[in-house]
Each structure stands twice: as structure tokens, then as C-alpha cells.
Homo-oligomer: A and B are copies of this chain.
Amino acid sequence: MKNNIVVLSGGVGGARFLEGLIQIALQENIVVIGNTGDDEEFYGLHVSPDLDIVLYTLAGVVNATQGWGFADETYHTMEQLTKLGNDGWFQLGDKDLATHIQRTNLLKQGKTLSEVTKELCKQFGLDIKLIPMTDQKVRTKIKTPKSLLSFQEYFVKNRTQDEVLDIMYEGIEKAKPAPEVLETLLNARAILLAPSNPLVSIGTILAIPGIRNALKKTKAKITAVSPIIQGATVKGPANRMMKSMGMEPSALGVAKAYQDFLDVMIIDEQDKELQKIIEKLGMKVITTDTIMKDKKTKVALAKTTLDSVL
């Protein structure tokens, strides 16, 4: 347990960061705590987008261009489901559907989401330990001027076009960290926060009662990679969401969100001017190239991040 490198991760950014990390650390020493606030049921099937992105990316079957789903995917079941009168805004590929059918079936048999995820890791040939943040149902809801949307409605259906008035984590009060999560954090060798959305990916994980406290208590050093560069994101609506929520949409805003437990902040070299300001929050700051455009940059970023807390 003491040798574990723990990574808190959302979807695409987290998975790409992990692609680099598994090149410089043994998979069996890596524990990923994944966000499940984006989970949703489609046609009665339990879909866990962030967990699947990690699975598919590390198993090497992901559609690398879009960052999610399978490469060489078809949509024959989906087309037929649409003909049968179903909404088709969340496109589930044929290979992808196998994961959701499998997960739903195992859950139906009484297994917990973390047990199911462990099985899926094995079935995808992975040695990392991927643990959902909780086995309870937590759903990220986005309050917009017109309605309260599920995360996927906001993100996929409405393509992040709505103004965000508030972000809520439905079910969070009753949620407990999944088994091993707190223990793993307290006994970790190092804890890394992937360059994922600080509100709806890392933020959701941090909102699970007990997790933030474990990060404050752990003796392991904690480092975070900013997903925001020059006030913008490589992928996703993090900067706009942060602005809506009254946060500074920058690496500084990210650092402030984590300042109660963070030791090291990794920011992009383009944000060099923020270094001194962030250091004043009481943390070390490292500037480097954080744009993971190829394998080499992914590995370099993982190495810089890991080295910063070892």
C-alpha cells in the first residue's frame, strides 16, 4: 500500500495523463480514483463515462481523436434504438455497449460498482487499480436559467451551451468513499490530481464526505496539474464553468480550489507569470509543457508531476 501512486481523475484529460504515467511507473502500483458523478442510465444501461475513458485509453482501444469510445466503432444498435422511438443524443457504439451491458448485468447481480470496475479492469487486461470514488449514486447536476440538467444533458445533449448558475452533486450527503479509497489516500506514496475539471471531475471526488479530509491528513505529498492554460482549456468547459461559479478561470483559480491540501501545482509554461502569485498561496509551483499532444509530452508531464512529490 505504501508504494501506491494515487491519481484522482476525470475523463479525457485524466486518461491522457495516465497514459504517460504508466510508462514511468508500474501499473500495479497505480491506484486511480475515478469520478462517477457523470454516470447516467441510458435505455436502462448504467454508463460510467469517466471510468470507461480510463479503461479504453489504458487498454489502447480508445478512439484517440475524440478521446472517448472505441476506435473503429459502429452504431448499429443505437440506430435501431432510435428507430424504436428512443432519443439518440448520447451515442453508444456497438463495442462500447458491451461494457454497459456487462456493468449493468453485474450490478443487477448485486455487485458494487467498485467490484464491477475491478472485473472490467481485468477483462480489459489492465493491472492498474481503478476505483470509482463511491459505490453510491452521486449525480452531478447543472443548474441553468431554464432547468436542472444532468451532467450529460449539459455536456453532450446541449453541448455546454447553457449558462451555468450552479453545480450540485445529487446524493453526495449519503455517499461514502468506495472501499479502500480513504486507506489508499492515507497510505499513499504520492497523490496526483490529473488535469481534469476542478468542478465536475476532481471537485466531485473531493465532495465525497471524507475524501478532502484524507487529503489534508495524509503524509503523502500532493500535486495537481492545471487543466487551464492561459484561461482556456484543451478540452471541455472548465474555464467557463469556473467563471460562472465565481472562480478565477485560470491556473490560479485551480490552485485556490486545492490550496487547503496541495503541496505542488504544475502549471503550463505559458502561464509563467502566475508562478509567483500561486506560490503566495503556500505551495510550490512548477512550470512545464502541460499540453499532452503526443506520447513524449505525456510521459514528460507525468515524470515532472511524479518527481515533484517523490
Give me the interface of A with B, judged by CB distance under 8 Å.
43-45, 74, 76-81, 83-86, 94-95, 97-99, 101-102, 104-105, 108-109, 120, 123
> For residue A74, which residues in chain B have a CB less than 8 angstroms away from its CB?
74, 76, 94
The smallest beta-carbon distance between A98 and chain B, in angstroms, is 4
What are 22 A-B pairs at a CB distance below 8 A? Answer: A43-B101, A43-B105, A44-B101, A74-B74, A74-B94, A76-B76, A76-B94, A76-B95, A77-B77, A77-B94, A77-B95, A78-B98, A79-B95, A80-B97, A81-B98, A81-B101, A83-B98, A83-B123, A84-B98, A84-B102, A86-B102, A101-B101
Establish whether residues B104 and A44, one from each chain, have CB atoms under 8 Å apart when the complex forms: yes
In the assembly, what is the distance between CA of A12 and CA of B285, in Å? 70
In the assembly, what is the distance between CA of A168 and CA of B307, in Å? 67
A43-B105, A102-B84, A104-B44 are contacts. A97–B77 as well, Cβ < 8 Å? yes
> For residue A44, which residues in chain B have a CB less than 8 angstroms away from its CB?
101, 104-105, 108-109
In the assembly, what is the distance between CA of A82 and CA of B43, in Å? 22
A94-B94, A108-B44 are contacts. A102–B81 as well, Cβ < 8 Å? yes
The smallest beta-carbon distance between A42 and chain B, in angstroms, is 9
In the assembly, what is the distance between CA of A95 and CA of B290, in Å? 43
The smallest beta-carbon distance between A33 and chain B, in angstroms, is 23
> For residue A105, which residues in chain B have a CB less than 8 angstroms away from its CB?
43-45
> For residue A78, which residues in chain B have a CB less than 8 angstroms away from its CB?
98
Closest partner residue, chain B, to A120 (CB atom)? B84
In the assembly, what is the distance between CA of A86 and CA of B81, in Å? 23
Establish whether residues A98 and B80, one from each chain, have CB atoms under 8 Å apart when the complex forms: yes
> For residue A95, which residues in chain B have a CB less than 8 angstroms away from its CB?
76-77, 79-80
